Amino acid sequence: MRAKLALEDGRVFTGFSFGASGEREGEVVFNTSMAGYQEILTDPSYRGQIVTMTYPLIGNYGINYEDVESERPQVSGFVVKECSRIASNWRSQKELGRYLRENNIIGIEGVDTRALTRHIRLQGAMRAVISTDDLDDRSLVNKAKSSPGLLGRDLVREVTSDRVIHWSKQGRYRVVVIDCGVKYNILRELVNNECQVIVVPAKTKADQIRKLRPDGILLSNGPGDPQGIPYVVNTIKEFIGKMPIFGICLGHQIIGLALGGTTYKLKFGHHGGNHPVKDLCTGKVAITVQNHGFCVDIDSLNKKEIEITHINLNDNTLEGMRHRRFPLFSVQFHPEASPGPQDAQCLFGKFIDMLKQRHA
C-alpha cells in the first residue's frame, strides 16, 4: 500500500506502508541510533512525534516483550529506508511490521531517509502528516500546517500513569517517581540500587507525595514542551532543598524552570544513541542516549546557586546541572539507556549517595 509523509513546508516523501493504515499527525524528527528501535518506539518521550531512523535497515532482530520502555508504542509514525521481513534473533517474538499493525502505528518504508534527515537538519523539525488514506500532496501539506505542533502543548497527560503504582516494595530507600512518561529502565535501575519505587501521576500534589514519606524524588523523562506542564514545575518547587531530587530529560528541564531558568526549542533536537557529553567535574566524555527537542538556557540560570556539570560536545548545550547547596541534580540525557554501555550509570549511584546522607 502506498503511503506519504507530508511536511508543513510543502516537502512530500512517498513510500510504502508496512504497519497500520490510516492517518496521523506529529512533529517529524530523526534518530541516529543503529539499533534499539523497539526502545525508541515505546519511549513515551516520543509522544506526538513521527520518528525517522537514519540507519537504513530496521527490524532485522524483530520484537520481544522484555525490552519495551512502556506498555505500548508511543510514536505517531515510523519512517525507515527498509523494513526487514526477517527477524533473526533468538529472543524475537514477532516481526516489526506485525507489531506496528497490532498497535495501530503507521510505518513507511522506501523513503529516502538521507534526504529527509538532511532536510530536517537544514530546516528544523516541523509538523507533518503521515497517511495511507489521503495521497493528495496539497491536502496533506494543509493538514500538516493546521496540526497543533508541540509548543506549549501538554503531552504528559497522555502518557502519565492514572494511579499510584507500587513498582517495587523491597529496598532500603523509598523513592517517589513523578511520572511524566517514565521509561521502564529508569524504574529497573532504581530497583537495582535497593530502592522501593512508587510511581505517581504527574498531577499528584505535593501534599499527597509527602504522605508517601519518600527519601527522595526522581522526576522522569517525558514528551513535549516543559512550559506546557506548569503544574509539575509548581510541585517540584515545594521539594527543592527539603529532600534529594534527581531529574532526567524532561525532568531536568522542569527543574531548570523551577530554579528560575528558561527553556527553548532546539532546531532539530537531540535524538540518538551516540551523543558525546563532557562531565565538567571529571573531564571525562560519555556516549549518551538522548531524546529531547527542548533545552534549558544556560544563561538563564543563577550561577551562584547552580553549577553546570555537563555540556553537549556537538553544540555546547546544557546537559547537566546541580545545586550548590541543596541535594539536587539533573541531566538532559538518559543514564538508564547505557549506550556506552555503562558510561552514565554512576549517576544513579550519586542519587543513592544523597539518599544515604538523608538516612544518616
Q: Which residues are catalytic?
A: 249, 334, 336
Dihedral of CA atoms 55, 273, 286, 328 in degrees, nearest 10, equals 160
DSSP readout, 222-259?
-SS-GGG-HHHHHHHHTTTTTS-EEEETHHHHHHHHHT
Separation of alpha carbons 110 and 99, rounded Å: 19
Q: What are phi and psi of 55, to 5 degrees?
A: -70, 135
State how far the Cα of 170 lies from the Cα of 151, in Å rounded to an integer.
Answer: 40
Q: Which three cell numbers stand for residue 200?
A: 505517581
Positive or negative CA dihedral for 118, 119, 122, 124? Answer: negative
Residue 345 is placed in which grid cell?
550509570
Helix (H) or strand (E) holding 307: strand 306-312
Strands 306-312 and 263-279: antiparallel
Contact 171, 163 (CB under 8 A): no
